[in-house]
Structure 1
Amino acid sequence: MTKTRKGGKTMKRLLVMLLSISMISGLFTFGLGNASADEVDTTADVGTTYYISSLNGDNNADGTSPDTAWESVMKINDITLQPGDKVLLERGSVFNYQYLHIKGSGSAENPIIIGTYGDEAAAKPVIDAKGQGIWYQDYGITLDNAQHVNKGYVSSTILLYDVEYIEISGLEIVNNVSFENEDYSLREKMNRTGVAVVAQNAGTIDHIVLDDLYIHDVKGNVYDKHMNNGGIYFTAFMPENEAETGIAKYDDVIIKNCTVENVSRWGIALAYTAYHAQFNAAEIPDDICQKYGATNVIIRNNYIKDVGGDSITTMYCFRPVVEYNVSDGAAKEINEEIYNATSFGRVAAAVWPWKCKDAVFQYNEVFDTHYNGDGQAWDADWGDGAIYQYNYSHNNEGGCVMICGVQAVNTIFRYNISYKDLIGALDLPGNPRADFYNNVFYMAEGVPFIRERSSGGVAVLTNNIIYNAGETKTEDWSNNCTVTYDHNLYYNYNEIPADDENAVTGDPMFVNAESAPTSTTGVVHDRTAFDGFKLQDGSPAINAGVYVSGSTGYDFFGNKVGLVPDIGVYESSVEDTMVEGVFSNVYEVTDTWINGIAKGTTVETLLSNLIYDERTTVKVYNEDGTEVTEGVLTDTMVLKATYNDSVKEYKLGIEKVYTEYSPEGMTATVGSYQPNNTTEGGGNLALDNNLSTMWHTNWNGCAEDERWIAIDMGTNQDVAMLKYVPRSAGGTNGIITEYEIYVSDTGEDGSWTKVETRSNTWAGDSTVKYAEFDTVNTRFVKLVATESLSQNAGLIFASAAEIRLGYEVE
């Protein structure tokens, strides 16, 4: 089997994400790319305009002018609307015990508009279903957890079921309790929605815009997470005939300028899908997410206040953008007093993704989320590639951010401010590697940095300011997690993490951090409200950071970040100190290698994708020392970065094609293993073509020098690659993060020779990894773990689901 090893995958992916964010939003000026309801240029002779007024309407009139308006919005439910139609409600009207369940779709050129008319000073027209507008929801399939309710009756004030090209704006939407003696905490309580949107039998539902809606007092079922239940909830059901109608999903959804207040369970959710089984892998392929998930989703400039559960959640979306939203007082009903019929699902956070690919959360603010099993401002839950950047959080009782579990992969948390969040800034329950850089964690008195319940998570913290605002504190910097610290600033702690060899200690000299916002008006603060987190001249954080590949290039305030970044969220105007060497957002650059260079890359392309100080000269040279200025790169060439008399040399890691050897006939010996276990045991389990079994060192722990596995191929063969498949379930114990490769012709003690690999580190997650080296003819190959993950304090492990060897194909 021939496979191409795609080097530099992470760096390339980050560049794509940065470009995606830039194309969607720009860095600080954002355009919708879609007109709002008030901006659509509809042709006068296309569609009919219907007027509805509770003030002076008459259901016996024709409803086509303000003077002949209908009295009830229910009249619209009897009509199949056509492209270009408008439904306008008079401001100041109130429609009790009524609902709007739309039939008919608009078109790309002529969407259906649902809006308002009349006195601009009058209040928004109110539609309060009061528990009416009942329809039956059925996903047609069991949900990802069988305990989740998947069918039942729902009351929705506005329902868009298999309709598209709809734009709704300017309405007040209510769905309050109306049934006498209804027990609010009843498990079987009716689900209710302000706006419910459903895709089932019409394939892709295009262009739904919800703008300037005031949705409140929608008192649904606090338990049912995935029914159309809350303020705004999008769902996709299994089609009755998928071959005929296509996959049920969404494209082009915009929710903006809305206020959602006092609703249950969700504030805004978009969009749980019957196709959830397509998203079972930790890393979500782009094509799968685009095929079965929602695409082109924007949730912008909304205020979510006092919701029973979670404020905003994107579900099964491809690159959704969630920005400029405010959450205030989320999860107010996730407690034993109200949520008392069951403990299942009694957790909620404010703003988070579920099974999304490359979700971006930026310029949002979260205040005062209530404590529960979770209770954080941000939660990078199961999904792939979530980015949180330029956000602000304060006084959230469950902490700042959680990286939730084994399938929360490739998470980045950067340029955010956490101001006196409670119980623990970070919550790391068993997650693969997450990267935190250039954040400010301003810790309240007595609050631990890592939430005490955390266990088994993996995190890398770089360029962060961790500021203890209380009495000088002794800190547990790991809390049973694997946390790597580098170039962080620590203030007011008795000790710092032992592994942070580039730590800065002392007062960062904020301008006035205590001036940070502690409340909200529902609109995100101007950036100047956070000027207190800027650095005064002379701060030890200035030019004390390290360059992080894949960074946005801009700080919290929009300042361009140099090659020697300041620690924290602010980049001062102080000129960078000189930094030798090169960096890249495309390639993986180590001290001696530039990896991930595609075969066929030219000298010009390589140089254009490198970042370096303008005082540095960068050139490519042949093996004989002659300069190369054009043409295709080869792996015998080197790149030299020269500054004055200093020269830094890099080998070129050009992607190669390998063929894997079959493991049949191979055997393995190990330094340690768990005996008497058929699923986690000896080295043979890394050669058995079964990802459900693994080589695992002794469960009681092992010595550092026992973390090795040696493969005997039975005969000498050319080898240039070792493939390492980490465990994918049951935690992270033993996942190898740093390694060495040795070879031998005999396998005897004293016969092993270390080979030079392009890299010696792997990410602490479940993705497949490779060790690449120059071809060597040998019989035995040994993988030695020099660092590995452990969820058990004080114990050392190593593990491998599968290991393969391979040779280079010319």
Structure 2
Amino acid sequence: MKPVGTAPPIAPARRRPSVRALRTGLTALLAALLTALLTALLAPAAPAVAATERASAAAKPDLPGNTPNPTGGRDYFIDATNGRDNAPGTSPRNAWRSLAKANATTFRPGDRILLKTGEQWHDQQLWPKGSGSAGKPITISAYGDPRARKPYIATNGKVPSPFRADGTKNPDTVGLTGAIVLRNQQHFEINNVELSNDDDFATDITTGRYVRDGIMVSINADLLPAGADSIMDHFRISDVYVHDLDGPSNWQRIHYGGVNFQVFGSRNYKEYGTGGYYFKDVRIEDNTFMKVELHAVQFAFNWFGADGASSGQYDESGKFHEGWEQLWVRTRDLYSRDVYIGHNYAESVGQGAIQLANTKNMTVEYNEVNGFLERYGSVSVALYLWAGADSVMQYNEVYGGPYNEFDGTPWDLEYTNFNVTYQFNYSHDNPAGWMSYMGNSSNSVARYNLSVNDNGVLVKNMLSTNYSPTYFVNNTFVYDGAELDYFHDETFLSTVYFLNNIFYNTSTAKSTPWYRRTGALRNAVFSNNDFYEASGTPSSQEPADRRKLRADPKFVGDPAKYPTGLGVKQVRTAAAHFKLRDDSPLIDAGRYNPRLGTEDFLGTHIYYGAAPDLGIAESPIGEKVDNPVDDDPIEEEGDDRVNLALGKPVTASSTHPGAGGTLTADKLTDGDRATRWAAADDASYPITLDVGFGADTTFDEVYLDEYTDSGTNPRVRSFELQRWDAGTGAWVTFASRSDGIGHDLSVTGFGSVTTSRLRVALTGQLPTEVYTPTMTEIAVYRTA
């Protein structure tokens, strides 16, 4: 058994960089005094409460356990020093001693399990049985002296393994890995406790199969009796301090963290019912997490099996989703819902601090993350939602991330999200970049966010096409171009709009590197953005923007002296540093779009004057526009010429049978570069693509575009353009190239051609490529 008192001292509820040195000194002084005392007494004492917290304790409201039970349920008290397990437990004088006594009890709705402040329970886990009911939750909380340390459960890694010997998850033990455990239980409230779950605070686990949580709440579909409720309702977790959760730094296909909600099922998702297996009405707020693995908060990841080709699905547009993308959570209505996660502080997190999944109607706000991905050998981000819907992340602050080539950013527009918005967030000093961006999502919006010195990649790793365009609007980016890797590191495969943003490069030596791949921004539409280079030299890669500015924004504060250490409650104060001065050229320089929403970062109405301002803050100058109308849609920008091939039938000599039959030649003339045709793997050259106009058509330009992504390069080396000669009944070549197609190739210089049919004959493949060609578009224009 670990001796009482060997856990780290309790941390203040919130630590700030600006006072770290002072508190380090106080901690060192307290540690020295405690060490002397421990040595003298030879009996370790409980760690002392930090002086700053003790001084403020008198101002705190009384503990729930010191007041009458508002539900009329029965109260049960637990005292690790003076309690007795043969006592009734129903009063402080007749308290139980061990958590095992509570674990053996089935509690009724309205009951409270009350732990005495200043007490510690080592090598124990709390798993009370029973569930509450509507209006009568079961409560786990504290009683005693509110000035004393929170009751402390130090489980010390004494939890069962969730794995069988072969590494698969064990349905009997999965989810039983917390200092506090709830399994297939609902209507619970947990507050005013301290938790840890580490067998050796001095050594980090790097290998092995260990899973340890602070609070573990699970739905175990395999253990639900037939006909049992699979929807777990009403959870409140607040004023909980979780520290020192240790686990390996490698991915082992299971999540764990300070507060962890998960859904488990050992079989394929198709073997379970629909419209269930989720959590609802959950609030996780005002908690503190220090040095935890993998996450501070992990909410609702669904671990039904989704492996193998049969687990994939085609969506309504014909897009195929691998099973791991979890489109099935949407189609089977397995979303958790009505969730609030707010006002939590996380410091020194092993992987992603706040990982959320499979949830809709979620608000995540005023959370502060100070250091993430500190002890993990793979990728993640600080705060994000995976396979979710109808949710917003706002007023969060993230800093202190790592440098990481893949992900590593504060935020992430992840796979299979529908109607997810990131707004009013402040990130700074994250060397991996600003936003990861995966795809297969619909109506993703990032607006009025502030990024300072998120040097790395600002918008990172677009790996898939989307259902609908993504919008990045009215964000302010302040970065060092000499430290920035790129604005974008891959290739946008679907339309992305960048509107009313400020790109402020502080480097006087290097202009902004906008991309590393040719054609990376071809699906990005920029309008009304400010591209400011402190060097005075525009970047040679600067995106096309017909309404661009290159002006100094004239922020009210010095960008080099951006605020830090204010705390997330003051996130608007930090943002106000980047308001525009009244003489800024960016006032009224923007463009309205409904994705701007209704207010800016500071709560100011959108918009005043002739047009919205650029960046995160609207200046209330000019007449207020109460009900703006988008009379100049950015969505209608682009090539306004008539594409003579649009919607025309196409015949291919070879078509790939994969992707559920969606790689057909008609995609080449549908006007959508997010769709594509592909030749079969065994196609022989020439591979021909014949466009039928239906009548003689005159043109002087042919546009061709190949498909690429992070693993797909251009493949065509040579091609010919041919017209159908009805008089001779033969194809006649009028143009040819031997230097490839790639992206956005316009073939001209052949004069005017009149024909009823056009053939694109792919005659050769690049020697570096193994697979046959795949293309997104053939367009035909008459420019003369």
Counterparts of 2:708 and 2:389 in 1: how far apart (Å)?
19
- Report 1:394-543 matches (<5 A): 394-404=428-438, 406-432=439-465, 433-448=469-484, 450-451=486-487, 453-458=489-494, 459-480=496-517, 481-482=520-521, 483-492=524-533, 494-495=537-538, 497-514=542-559, 519-520=564-565, 523-543=568-588
Greater alpha carbon shift after TM alignment, 527-536 vs 462-471: 527-536
SS in 2 for 1:127: strand
Please state if 1:575 is matched with 2:575: no
Counterparts of 2:662 and 2:189 in 1: how far apart (Å)?
61
What does the per-residue CA deviation read over 1:520-553, in whole Å, with 9 as the maximum and x for residues that have no partner? Answer: 4654324123221011111010000001123212
1:696 touches 1:800 (CA, 8 Å); kept in 2?
no
SS in 1 for 2:103: helix
Percent of matched pairs sharing the same residue: 28
1:389 to 403, 412, 423: 423
Alignment RMSD (CA, Å): 4.9
Q: Structure 1's 578 and 194: CA in aligned 2 closer, same or farther, altered over 3 A?
A: closer
Q: Structure 1's 507 and 84: CA in aligned 2 closer, same or farther, altered over 3 A?
A: same
1:366 to 398, 401, 406: 398
2:206 to 175, 178, 185: 185
Counterparts of 1:96 and 1:381 in 2: how far apart (Å)?
39
C-alpha deviation, 1:43, in angstroms: 6.7
2:463 touches 2:710 (CA, 8 Å); kept in 1?
no
Please state if 1:312 is matched with 2:354: yes
What does the per-residue CA deviation read over 1:430-459, in whole Å, with 9 as the maximum and x for residues that have no partner? Answer: 344432110100012513373564344553
| Alignment partner, residue 558 of structure 1 | 603
C-alpha deviation, 1:184, in angstroms: 1.7
1:192 touches 1:221 (CA, 8 Å); kept in 2?
no
| Alignment partner, residue 292 of structure 1 | 334
Runs of 5+ unmatched residues, structure 2: 1-61, 316-320, 639-646, 669-673, 682-686, 696-705, 715-725, 730-742, 744-755, 761-768, 779-784
| Alignment partner, residue 268 of structure 1 | 297
SS in 2 for 1:103: coil
1:137 touches 1:153 (CA, 8 Å); kept in 2?
no
C-alpha deviation, 1:518, in angstroms: 5.5
1:443 touches 1:449 (CA, 8 Å); kept in 2?
no
Q: Structure 1's 417 and 314: CA in aligned 2 closer, same or farther, altered over 3 A?
A: same
1:61 touches 1:68 (CA, 8 Å); kept in 2?
yes
SS in 1 for 2:127: strand
- Report 1:120-135 matches (<5 A): 120-134=146-160
C-alpha deviation, 1:235, in angstroms: 1.1
C-alpha deviation, 1:581, in angstroms: 10
1:679 touches 1:693 (CA, 8 Å); kept in 2?
no
Q: Structure 1's 158 and 365: CA in aligned 2 closer, same or farther, altered over 3 A?
A: same
SS in 1 for 2:594: coil
Amino acid at match of 1:199: I
Amino acid at match of 2:506: A
Counterparts of 1:246 and 1:185 in 2: how far apart (Å)?
39
C-alpha deviation, 1:37, in angstroms: 10
Q: Structure 1's 708 and 565: CA in aligned 2 closer, same or farther, altered over 3 A?
A: farther
Runs of 5+ unmatched residues, structure 1: 1-35, 340-345, 593-662, 700-705, 715-725, 735-745, 750-763, 765-779, 785-791, 802-810
Counterparts of 2:181 and 2:432 in 1: how far apart (Å)?
34
C-alpha deviation, 1:347, in angstroms: 1.0
1:542 touches 1:567 (CA, 8 Å); kept in 2?
yes
- Per the normalisation by structure 2, the TM-score is 0.67
Counterparts of 1:323 and 1:388 in 2: how far apart (Å)?
10
Amino acid at match of 1:100: L
What does the per-residue CA deviation read over 1:210-247, in whole Å, with 9 as the maximum and x for residues that have no partner? Answer: 11110000112332464242212211122899879983
Q: Structure 1's 682 and 305: CA in aligned 2 closer, same or farther, altered over 3 A?
A: closer
| Alignment partner, residue 21 of structure 2 | none
Amino acid at match of 1:213: V
Q: Structure 1's 411 and 56: CA in aligned 2 closer, same or farther, altered over 3 A?
A: same
2:238 touches 2:284 (CA, 8 Å); kept in 1?
yes
| Alignment partner, residue 79 of structure 1 | 105
1:149 touches 1:226 (CA, 8 Å); kept in 2?
no
1:108 touches 1:165 (CA, 8 Å); kept in 2?
yes
C-alpha deviation, 1:709, in angstroms: 6.9
Counterparts of 1:537 and 1:108 in 2: how far apart (Å)?
53
Counterparts of 2:237 and 2:490 in 1: how far apart (Å)?
38
SS in 1 for 2:389: coil
C-alpha deviation, 1:463, in angstroms: 0.5
- Report 1:775-786 matches (<5 A): none
1:296 touches 1:318 (CA, 8 Å); kept in 2?
yes
| Alignment partner, residue 230 of structure 1 | 257
Q: Structure 1's 289 and 258: CA in aligned 2 closer, same or farther, altered over 3 A?
A: farther
What does the per-residue CA deviation read over 1:177-234, in whole Å, with 9 as the maximum and x for residues that have no partner? Answer: 259x987212x23211111111022401111111111000011233246424221221
Amino acid at match of 2:261: F
Q: Structure 1's 224 and 524: CA in aligned 2 closer, same or farther, altered over 3 A?
A: farther
Counterparts of 2:597 and 2:194 in 1: how far apart (Å)?
39
What does the per-residue CA deviation read over 1:575-631, in whole Å, with 9 as the maximum and x for residues that have no partner? Answer: 16999994289x998599xxxxxxxxxxxxxxxxxxxxxxxxxxxxxxxxxxxxxxx
Amino acid at match of 1:248: Y
Counterparts of 1:37 and 1:709 in 2: how far apart (Å)?
77
SS in 2 for 1:75: helix
What does the per-residue CA deviation read over 1:251-291, in whole Å, with 9 as the maximum and x for residues that have no partner? Answer: 11111111111011122111111347589556988993682
- Per the normalisation by structure 1, the TM-score is 0.65
| Alignment partner, residue 136 of structure 2 | 110
C-alpha deviation, 1:697, in angstroms: 9.0
Q: Structure 1's 272 and 298: CA in aligned 2 closer, same or farther, altered over 3 A?
A: same
Counterparts of 1:86 and 1:579 in 2: how far apart (Å)?
50
Q: Structure 1's 189 and 522: CA in aligned 2 closer, same or farther, altered over 3 A?
A: farther
Counterparts of 1:565 and 1:101 in 2: how far apart (Å)?
54
Counterparts of 2:487 and 2:634 in 1: how far apart (Å)?
32
Q: Structure 1's 471 and 667: CA in aligned 2 closer, same or farther, altered over 3 A?
A: closer
